[in-house]
Structure 1
Amino acid sequence: MRNFTWGQAQTVMDAAAAASVTVADAMLSPPNTNGQAGASIVKAGGIDLLDLLKEKLLTADRITSLKELPGLDVITRTEDGGLRIGAAVTLANLARSPLVLRHYPALANATAHAASPQIRNVATLGGNLLQRPRCWYFRAAEYRCLRKGGGHCFAIHGENQYHAIFDNQLCAIVHPSTAATVLVALGAIVECADAMGAARRVRLEDFLVPPDEDVHRENSLRAQEILTAIELPALNPGTRMVHLKQGETDSFDWPLADVAIVFDLDAERRCKRAAVILGAAAPVPHRAKAAEAILLGRIIDEEAAKDAAHAALADATPLHKNGYKLPLFETLIRRAILRAAADLHA
């Protein structure tokens, strides 16, 4: 790891000004060796950033901490009954927040089972959403993969048992954030602030960038901009939600598959609105539109759940080592739909 200078931002504008480059762009640039000012980046919990520095995938001349910024580590109700979550709220605090547990239990579940207790106590929600892919080819300095500015995705014909089964023709990563799966299902909005004090609000689903839009980044964060908050909309009285995930172990492994189901039911258990989002399935959280269409207007029962789960995988394009994900996802989707209909939050 190269030496760097350390700073502490006191205001959001100062923090944004200190982000001279995004982490994604910094990883595409060669290390500074000519004495000129190099990359200046910001950190919150720093879990992923420190990994990238230690793995020699990223160099920076200056790192500015966001830890002392006021207001970024709080969770509050919004005027319309939704929730505003500061980007610096830790996963542990998010998972045990009474507001989150009561109103958005699927998000509490997802963050309570992310990583390990030690990491959850440090990692922030903003950092979790902005972390770089966990593909082993991307994480190995020896491989100049497509996402790091090379000309080839090694995973497509290589070791791809944990990789994407949708939208994997160009780059086969899966999005690394389990929280993002639930947040997309909930219709979350992300708020970013720039060095001039201007705020930008965008749906998380639109903020996340698939490879066919830009293969070098996973989101649309800009230089001299930081993520400040995530907002969740108010829920309807009949809203049900469930998050399920399956990993190789019950510890801190990244999931092989995870599913977030959010839908509104009427008094007859008929679906009025549905969101079926798959994590660990594609480079961004994957919206299973065919499953959503099948659920809409139907009474949620075993047959509806089975039909939706089957339809969700119809367009999958598994690679040669990850075909096992299809029956795994189908089972998780069916179970999640039935649990949500029964109002058994998981």
Structure 2
Amino acid sequence: MSNLEDDPHAIDCSGTPSEGVEVVTPREVPLGGLRAMTVNRTLPTRDRSMVGAWCFADHYGPEPVSSSGGMRVHPHPHTGLQTVSWLFDGEIEHRDSAGVQAMVLPGEINLMSAGHGISHSEMSTDATDVLHGVQLWVALPDAVRDDPHGFQHHVPEQVQLGGAGTVRVFIGEIAGSSSPIVTATPLLGAEIVLDPRSEIAPAVDEAFEHGVLLDTDRLLVDGVEIGRGSLAYVGPGATAIRLTNPTDSQARVILLGGRPFDEDVIMWWNFVGRTHDEIVEYRMEWESAAERFGRVEGWDPADRIPAPPLPTSRLKPRKRPGHE
């Protein structure tokens, strides 16, 4: 997915651990066009920029495509990150400049690694009546961020959680279930569905920080209530996270986790880099149709998303406490 904001700002992509549960409320972002599909974005926001290496989280739907127009994201570039697509409902066709053409389907993870540079498009299909899911990005560490691009797909098994619900682990490991998806830093990504009036407290890696992104109406995270589209952040040190569904309907969450990312990076538009000059170079190469980003087959070269103007000031990463 592309960040289609007209005026993207440099984002502090350096998670800062905090004590207790921190609630991040989403902001609405249109994906462009006259009938723009609107997403709820919790990463990055003013309150939190990162959970582990997870640096971007959009939650959308359930949205009837008859009113929103669906997802129609034309070819756009990425550097230094991995995209993770996860659907609850609908279908999206992915095409990229590495020649990959794949369907994004409910309950199946598609992970694209941009590495040195890639471009791709994402279009909901004619068979889609309702579009509903999340789009996530992972920042790549410096050691591998210039590696060649890649693509992974996996269909995780639905595992029972002691009669209280189910889990599908699409990245990492939790509740005795694991995923073969390879990431550059230790991460967790899972869809958890809780039965009505139920509670679980799965063990988690205490070196991780975690984010609980709620798809439904109400949930308690370690006793703190969050609403639909919000993200509850739990800093490192927790050995378990208590999730309580106080409603008479199922609750669904996306649980994200990872070790705090210890590199200062700049995230601007669809690029993750380290310096202002790198971002300037990425933008210039995209605008000039340079070899770095290739070409997505099936699209007219002119039918691509142009990069927005750079800000007038130099882009700088914000330093974390203790890393001045």
TM-score by length of 2: 0.25
Q: Look at both structures and tell me which one has the larger radius of gyration over its CA atoms.
A: 1
* Structure number having the greater strand percentage: 2
* Structure number having the greater helix percentage: 1
TM-score by length of 1: 0.24
RCO higher in structure (CA 8 A, sep ≥6): 2
